[in-house]
Structure 1
């Protein structure tokens, strides 16, 4: 067994390992190889110093264990070295481009690169660029991705309805439209309706004004697949909710698939009728959480490959650690970086990218908010009156939001505990301290609460952007 075969066995074990996500594998493990193997001492070729540091910190012991298992020999020493993977891999293994795996030397001024078309919109309103193959799956989106694929495999059976929720720019619309595109590919005669909840509401209102109820009903009910984006928009719209209730019932009774997206789970949508909340929970509810570092790097790598734009691997972490709220802002930052360097006709460097990021409003500086802004956001999210937040009731539906308010005042505004106590109706500083510590502990251990707090924070700053 030569060194290439040995490392392929190591890669296979990593790829099949249940505790390593696909994004982690693609980012840290995939683009590596054995550079030297002598006297049970191994040197691993890595694409960048960042990957080297990460492997040393996170996966060193696992790599040693797998190597010893594959070779049947003890590994005395394992080190990592940044190098050119093309010079190591056998020729027949280099057929697939490994843009993100090679060490890029200082380059002359760059040429203009062709950018693939963004994708066309078909008669159903589906954008052809939204397919599963272009979706980067991370630890925060694995379940949503798997559920979406299950719907494509068994529409109307697997999960009906499928309800996908999460913050802005995390890929909900991508998955929603990918379901439509994949099903249409399997069955071109399928009847699909894709619309935002706002459009559904506007179409309904127009049908009432013009007396075209039957046309409206036919448009949304005579379909095999109904895809509704941002369903939270129908909140507080009684007649629209009534119409959607009957639309949903008719489709569900006929085993027609319904998929919806929202910025929050059904029970957290204010002014949404209970009968709709219960129906939205009939099938599968999945969330998409903000991407972790590995996923953000994987997104950047994939985007650069799609745009045929070579970027030094060391630059990816620079972007990914600066822009971390959502995928949309991440891709937006990358597009600006590419456009800037093409316009200047210069090759990107870590220094030029850092300078550009620091001047971008897109990066993750905290936007300004106020104690009252936090109170308003919590009251709206949990549908709790302000007087109950500031009151003394110990009921969980009041005490939990109250503690989250104090936690956010501490974390987002860096307020002192006495100041927080004053804002909360003259409470003692120890109460604020207890609330902050309690919520932080629960966030660390409860994914559901962590998701809720992230959603609140996104809502908190959205009007200040």
Structure 2
């Protein structure tokens, strides 16, 4: 390799270093290797094909722009797939930028990973920083950290799926392992049932028990499904004994699972259990800005503040509100403004009452179900008491400005995750349970309005 080639590449690196985040530069740019300059083509080595696919999608435009500025548009770039030791191993055939062939194994199809879910576009804040740090540690050394299994829980729409898939995408891109499988718990169960029907349980075991990294989403789906739990128990044991990494997600902590194999809960405790909380205001603003950057638009400050103040709990709702606003503005030919945001999103905004307190709700719920109010705070697990308690927690989360932690404390020092579980459970049941829906409406009518 000539010095001219290395000098040119060093100038490219210097030019783009300030254009992308430091962590992204370290992860995706530093591993590149300048190979040679042949006529007007600069050859650059990449570790593997998946790495190239990600680079081509996210950073190639930045690299090409820098190279064009440095060479006045006279030099083109080509990529080569190289091994760990390029001196001893011949590079694979040249891969021209934006012309990657897809005859090889489709990594995304095989692993079921979504390439959009990366650490680079995961917005970090106090609510998720520990979960992200442990997930990254697992991605850098699958099966070699104390975090095995890694269990991440939190309410719907807070980024659990994004985070666990980012583990797989990072591991794949950085040659940690390519034997990865992401799957929802529902798909795991459906695959198992199909394998039984077709007498192909051996094939099922071969698929799930020979991976190096298993990413299983929404494991709470296994509740009450004994045969599926048993199969996953054996799958877990097989993978763990082989040194494979297991990553699980759920909408609640393991201790709140109902009708769940205690041996599985015990094994989950072998590793690390961590949670993701709803993002704070600053993180919500950062999420909006990140999404706006992806869409190539600028959000006026007052519009960003309005969205971040209005959609506090669910990231999907927050991003959905932004996309809805952008779509309307584009179709109607209107600039983004606070007035437009309030008009477009008026049917999606629910302003909770600031004067309804937790004690009032507890008393109204206890009276409605004809039970002593102190039972809502006690450790009573009778079905009728548990139901009333969950309804009360749901109403507190829905009608007050109290944090989930505060609500949990007022229900006998319970964890905030218990409140999340109650809220999610009642919300889900409301869709198909007319009796429960009637109860909730009746209770809301009895609770004083502000």
TM-score above 0.5: yes
Q: State the alpha-carbon separation in 1 of the partners of residues 391 and 256 from structure 2.
A: 20
Q: Which residue of 2 aligns with 1:458?
A: 424
* Contact 2:390/2:423 (<8 A) preserved: no
Q: State the alpha-carbon separation in 2 of the partners of residues 166 and 291 from structure 1.
A: 11
Candidates 217, 223, 247, aligned match of 1:235: 223
Q: Which residue of 2 aligns with 1:305?
A: 293
Q: Which residue of 1 aligns with 2:379?
A: 396
Q: State the alpha-carbon separation in 2 of the partners of residues 310 and 226 from structure 1.
A: 39
Deviations 1:58-88 (A, max 9, x none): xxxxxxxxxxxxxxxxxxxxxxxxxxxxxxx
Per the TM alignment, residue 352 of structure 1 is displaced from its structure 2 partner at its CA by 0.9
Q: State the alpha-carbon separation in 2 of the partners of residues 138 and 247 from structure 1.
A: 34
Q: State the alpha-carbon separation in 1 of the partners of residues 304 and 335 from structure 2.
A: 14
* Contact 1:407/1:439 (<8 A) preserved: no
Change (3 A) 1:143 1:395: same
SS of residue matched to 2:246: strand
Candidates 86, 103, 110, aligned match of 1:123: 110
Per the TM alignment, residue 409 of structure 1 is displaced from its structure 2 partner at its CA by 7.5
Change (3 A) 1:176 1:403: same
The answer to whether 1:133 aligns with 2:120 is yes
Q: State the alpha-carbon separation in 2 of the partners of residues 131 and 268 from structure 1.
A: 29
Q: Which residue of 2 aligns with 1:449?
A: 415
**Count of matched residue pairs:** 309
Deviations 1:284-330 (A, max 9, x none): 00111111111111100111011111111221010111112211111
Candidates 360, 381, 393, aligned match of 1:408: 393
Higher relative contact order (CA 8 A, sep 6+): 1
Q: Which residue of 2 aligns with 1:174?
A: 162
Candidates 328, 331, 339, aligned match of 1:351: 339
Per the TM alignment, residue 184 of structure 1 is displaced from its structure 2 partner at its CA by 0.2
Per the TM alignment, residue 188 of structure 1 is displaced from its structure 2 partner at its CA by 7.4
Per the TM alignment, residue 396 of structure 1 is displaced from its structure 2 partner at its CA by 2.8
Per the TM alignment, residue 268 of structure 1 is displaced from its structure 2 partner at its CA by 0.7
TM-score where L is the length of structure 2: 0.62
Per the TM alignment, residue 451 of structure 1 is displaced from its structure 2 partner at its CA by 3.0
Q: State the alpha-carbon separation in 1 of the partners of residues 134 and 298 from structure 2.
A: 34
* Contact 1:193/1:226 (<8 A) preserved: yes
* Contact 1:252/1:258 (<8 A) preserved: yes
Candidates 303, 315, 318, aligned match of 1:327: 315
Consecutive aligned runs of 4 or more in structure 1 exceeding 4 Å deviation: 386-395, 399-407, 412-415, 438-441, 443-446
* Contact 1:325/1:364 (<8 A) preserved: no
Q: Which residue of 2 aligns with 1:196?
A: 184
The answer to whether 1:142 aligns with 2:129 is yes
Q: State the alpha-carbon separation in 1 of the partners of residues 372 and 267 from structure 2.
A: 30
* Contact 1:152/1:182 (<8 A) preserved: yes
Q: Which residue of 1 aligns with 2:206?
A: 218
Q: State the alpha-carbon separation in 1 of the partners of residues 188 and 370 from structure 2.
A: 35
Per the TM alignment, residue 462 of structure 1 is displaced from its structure 2 partner at its CA by 3.6
Flag structure 2 segments of 5+ consecutive residues without an equivalent.
1-106, 353-360, 432-450
The CA RMSD measured in Å over matched residues stands at 3.7
Q: Which residue of 2 aligns with 1:271?
A: 259
Q: Which residue of 1 aligns with 2:33?
A: none
Flag structure 1 segments of 5+ consecutive residues without an equivalent.
1-119, 367-373, 379-385, 416-437
Change (3 A) 1:248 1:410: closer
